[in-house]
Amino acid sequence: MQEKENVLRIFQETKEAITKGDVAKIRNLSNQTTNTAALTHDPDNISAAVVVYALSKIMEREDYRKLPGWNNLYNTYIGAIDKILVALQKNDEKTFRQNIELIRNSINKSSGKLKDYIKDVFRSASINKASRLYEHGISMEKTSKLLGITQFELAEYAGKGKIPDVPEAKTVNVRSRIKLIMDMFA
């Protein structure tokens, strides 16, 4: 795992934000992890980004909290985050990964509408984070493999204009290009 200290900080702050109900903070933490994941191409950072983003989406939907199974799901998430924190402090990557999977697999322990909602949230979170990695310059093929989605899903999401304009992605108009070239030879 690369940037272990960063992932530890992210989960510490995520747990604190969950207990305070600070959804915006959780989403911001996910974005920070995505930036690190884009630089390192580290699957553990990517998994952390997806899980934290999905948690932000789950927490923002207050109507989920009224569905049967919510308390079990919430307690599973908090318990897994506690174990993730201990694992990171002990450099135990195996336990870290097991608890990331525990969070992802908690979907299967839910039932009814909550299960369907959470499943959709994790799928959307994977596609969203894939688009952010793609935006940072990781190839579509590598991004889709890292997140377990198809290239078609990523291309469809990216093609809908969900990826915001960033300075690296902006093109220069023809007039400016010609001026640049002329200046190079002047």
Q: What is the number of residues in the chain? A: 186
pLDDT tens-digit profile, the chain (186 residues): 677 888 888 899 999 998 888 888 888 888 787 777 777 777 788 788 878 888 888 888 888 788 787 888 888 888 999 999 999 999 999 998 888 888 877 766 776 777 777 777 777 777 777 777 777 677 777 766 666 677 777 677 666 654 444 444 455 677 877 887 777 776
Q: Where are the domains of the chain?
A: 4-185
Of 50, 48, 56, 44, nearest to 18 (Cα)? Answer: 56
Q: Report the distance separating Cα 6 and Cα 94, nearest Å.
A: 18
Of 122, 127, 124, 126, nearest to 110 (Cα)? Answer: 122
Q: Report the distance separating Cα 181 and Cα 82, nearest Å.
A: 56
